[in-house]
Amino acid sequence: MSASLGVRDRNEASWTQIMKIIGYMVDSVSAPVVTDGDAGFGDFNNAGRPAWKSYRRGVAGGRLKNQTFPRTNSFLGPDQPPAPMGEFRCKIKAAKDSQSNGVFCVAVRVEALVSRRSTDEALWRSEARHAAGADTNLICSKESSADEVPQIIGRWDGFSPVIIGPAMYRATPADLFRKGGISAVIGANHALRAAISATRSIIGRIRKNRSVLEVNGDMVSVAEAFRPTNVDELEMAEKIYAEPARTLPSIADGKLRKVRR
């Protein structure tokens, strides 16, 4: 979402800007929407407000990262130390207390492995977050192998569901995740990266050939581009709500003329 706004992934986009995008997403899709709450946008109060707004907006859940504010992308730049556990526990509790029923899931991303900490520390932080009210833990790692993840899963003992984001260990077969008891797998930014790649290719060819003819077959049709916006519903609504022009008497000249209300 930060990339779509043209800003860096370092909390340069405010949570209100992010919430606006999320609102459009919830209105446009039928699948559950899970948001990225970054490091909570500040202290416990800043973490609780967007969680409450998301819950009221119909979002299925939110994810918090155990990083200091402002955070930056975990996979760019030097390793970042996790935020103090006491501070983060307060953010988790504030996010959970913002809802009035259990339909909003608070997922917490374990940053210990990303910041090159031990599996023991990752497990300790996972247990502490579960005790603070987190519904599920998201395990991430910078390693090209998924070896660290099963070590945590094997000792986690099913306290709560576990989600993974295999951004770096992408060659690991999905069957291993399923057999290991992983509840869900997140593909964090693949659609955006694919869109950037395709856009660069198409624009480059248009610029080179000075024509859109050659690329036309490699794109969806205009109708398909608008299909996700539910154009069909508008066409049906026009038949119901768009009142046709009707003939009314004219007070000015006594003649009939067509007017549209």
As averages over each run of 10 residues, the pLDDT of the chain (261 residues) reads: 88 90 90 88 90 91 85 73 85 86 83 78 82 85 75 71 80 80 82 92 95 92 87 83 58 45 37
Strand boundaries in the chain, DSSP class E? 34-36, 61-65, 105-110, 136-139, 162-164, 184-185, 246-249, 256-259
Domain count, the chain: 2
At 4 the pLDDT is 85
Picking from 164, 187, 210, the residue at the C-terminal end of a domain is: 187
The rounded distance, in Å, linking the Cα atoms of 252 and 261 is: 17
pTM: 0.76
Same domain, 176 and 251: no
Domain that holds residue 160: 15-187
CATH of residue 78: 3.20.20.60
In the DSSP assignment, the letter for residue 70 is S
Same domain, 113 and 209: no
Same domain, 177 and 198: no
**Domain annotation covers residue 77:** yes
- 79 catalytic residue (yes or no): no
At 210 the pLDDT is 94
Same domain, 178 and 237: no
Same domain, 128 and 144: yes
Same domain, 30 and 52: yes
In the set 9, 36, 97, 135, the catalytic residue is: 9
Picking from 137, 164, 187, the residue at the C-terminal end of a domain is: 187
Q: Give DSSP secondary structure letters for 135-182.
A: SEEEE---SSS-THHHHHHHHHTTSS-EEE--SS-TTS-HHHHHHTT-
